Amino acid sequence: MIPNALSDQEFTQFQDFIYRIAGINLSFAKKPLVVGRLAKRVDHYRLSSFGDYFQLLKSGAHPDEVQMAVDLLTTNETYFFREHKHFDFLRDTILAQRSAVKPFRVWSAASSTGQEAYSVAMVLADKLGGQPWEVIASDISTRVLETARGGHYPLPQAEHIPQDYLSGYCLKGIGAQEGTFLVARTLRERVTFMQVNLNTQLPKLGDFDVVFLRNVMIYFDMEIKRQVVQRIAEKIRPGGYLLVGHSESLNGVTDAFRSVKPSVYRKL
């Protein structure tokens, strides 16, 4: 029987759990989300309560289940060319001013199911052509990364993709795949997906010209924001760009960047 009652004490346990691992603050308004996303896992183990499920996670006996819980509790909402002005800025300003010395590298640091990373890749393929470029895309959730690597999406998600990009870089499904589309292999091969927890020491990723860190800082408190941005700043080349969500800001977070325009920052 799937449970539907989550006490405040149990919710606080999951609050602490996801904050400790991912730095994410879950407000009490998220109680229904926690119930909806974890109830089936409680039922899967035939447990009687969410508290029992938390004890299972805490025991360390099921490390794969810890990752499953993290996957379920991290929010992953995205779509192709979301906040399109950032992609216009990438195309018309950043790439237009670029001097082709090193391979152009972009990091989609909270890539979710891959739409942001593939949107970036379409712009780079269009503007840089045969010049060397690379997109690294990461997320804390292994579940969404599996979807991202496949590059296979329901057709309605193509709504925001410019028509020339849609015809040039995507394949429309037919037969059993009707109603879906696939990002072309030539593009998928230029995007590397990997699991990265922004709340811990970052792996060796190299330096980047542009980092997209959008719509993730809203889940962090100020101290976690500072730590995450500091780690990311170290990965951005001097003069490189950090793009955050339109509702986000680096005010009071760091002095490593100057504001170019709302939600667009350049490293000093």
| Catalytic option among 37, 190, 231, 237 | 37
3-state secondary structure 173-234: CCHHHCCEEEECHHHHCCEEEEECCCCCCCCCCCCEEEEEECCCHHHCCHHHHHHHHHHHHC
CA-to-CA dists, residue 73 to 46, 111, 217, 234, 248, angstroms = 20, 16, 16, 28, 21
Which distant-in-sequence residues (6+ apart) come within 8 Å of 40 by Cβ?
2
Do the Cβ atoms of 212 and 107 come closer than 8 Å?
yes
| Catalytic option among 139, 188, 209, 214 | 139
Which distant-in-sequence residues (6+ apart) come within 8 Å of 95 by Cβ?
104, 123, 124, 127, 128
Amino acid at 177: Q
Is 214 in the active site? no
Which distant-in-sequence residues (6+ apart) come within 8 Å of 216 by Cβ?
109, 110, 198, 245
Q: Exposed/middle/buried for 101, CB within 10 Å: 0-12, 13-18, 19+?
A: exposed
Q: Residue 187's beta-bridge partner residues?
A: none
Is 139 in the active site? yes
Tokens 């939600």 -> residue = 263
CA-to-CA dists, residue 174 to 24, 80, 147, 152, angstroms = 40, 21, 20, 13
Residues classed as catalytic: 37, 139
